């Protein structure tokens, strides 16, 4: 049923979840994982990067570390989440917006990154196509998605909350978006089941 794969519900969920988000997130999203996400974008020092679903700025922090605040543009649906990221990185550009209708011209950025947001998008294929559209030819699109759990009960529970795609589904979405040189890794925080997420990237 994927209860939270609905923009209005996701937005209200995060309005309240934002109060404890920074405490909970590190249990599921380790420093190693966010480094891998940003490694997958093949950034240069002056790359212009857009981040979709930036939340309170966990991944933003790693992108900023590589390219500097001024080169980062970040989008999120939930102001209560984004306000925390704005406080952390006042020189970055923040916009309230929807992953499936990005408010940018074609080929505006050298890379686009989205970690842990696709599971709330009603149309993930459209979101990936939007990321590809706003990325320059030769640039990379990177997604971190929660992977469909291997066990039956965990899978049924997970699927009742939001989207947990298989790695194959992610690869298919990337191919359908015209992305090339697709690479991925299945990983997770060390104390959890090992393949909690898939990190995938492709070239425009």
Residue nearest ligand SAM by beta-carbon distance: 55
Distance CA 95, CA 203 (A): 25
Of 14 and 184, the one with the shorter C-beta distance to ligand SAM is: 14
DSSP 98: B
What tokens appear for 38 in the block?
């940003």
Out of 40, 121, 164, 173, name the contact with ligand SAM by CB under 6 A: 121
Instruction: Give the pair of three-digit tokens for residue 4.
Output: 């939270």
Report if residue 141 touches ligand SAM, rule: CB under 6 A: no
Q: How would you label 159-169 residue by residue, b for 16+ Cβ within 10 Å and e otherwise? A: beebbbbebeb
Q: How many residues bind to ligand SAM according to rule CB under 6 A? A: 24
Instruction: Enter the tokens of residue 187.
Output: 């990983």
CB 104 within 8 A of CB 42: no
Residue 171 has a CB neighbour count (10 Å cut-off) of 18
Interface residue with ligand SAM among 40, 55, 128, 133 (CB under 6 A) is 55
The verdict on 76 binding ligand SAM (CB under 6 A) reads yes
Backbone φ and ψ for 183, nearest 5 degrees, come out as -135, 155
Q: Does 53 bind ligand SAM (CB under 6 A)?
A: yes
Give the interface segment with ligand SAM, choosing from 48-56, 133-141, 171-179, 188-196 (CB under 6 A).
48-56
Measured from the CB of residue 97, what is the shortest distance to ligand SAM in angstroms? 6
Interface ranges with ligand SAM (CB under 6 A) = 7, 10, 14, 25, 29, 52-55, 58-59, 75-78, 81, 98-100, 115-117, 120-121
């Amino acid at each position: 049923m994927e209860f939270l794969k609905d923009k209005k519900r996701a937005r209200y969920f995060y309005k309240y979840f934002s109060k404890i988000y920074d405490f909970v997130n590190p249990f599921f999203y380790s420093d190693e994982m966010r480094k891998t996400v940003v490694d997958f974008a093949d950034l240069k020092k002056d790359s212009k990067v857009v981040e979709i679903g930036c939340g309170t700025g966990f991944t933003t922090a790693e992108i900023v570390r590589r390219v500097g605040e001024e080169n980062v543009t970040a989008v999120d649906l939930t102001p209560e989440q984004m306000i925390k990221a704005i406080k952390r990185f006042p020189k970055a550009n923040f916009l309230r917006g929807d992953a499936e209708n990005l408010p940018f011209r074609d080929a505006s950025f050298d890379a686009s990154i989205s970690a842990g947001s696709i599971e709330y998008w009603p149309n993930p294929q459209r979101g990936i196509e939007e990321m590809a559209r706003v990325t320059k030819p030769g640039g990379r699109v990177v997604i971190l998605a929660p992977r469909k759990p291997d066990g039956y009960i965990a899978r049924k529970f997970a699927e009742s909350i939001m989207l947990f795609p298989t790695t194959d589904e992610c690869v298919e979405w990337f191919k359908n978006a015209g992305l090339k040189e697709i690479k991925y890794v299945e990983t997770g925080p060390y104390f959890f089941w090992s393949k909690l997420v898939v990190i995938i990237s492709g070239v425009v």
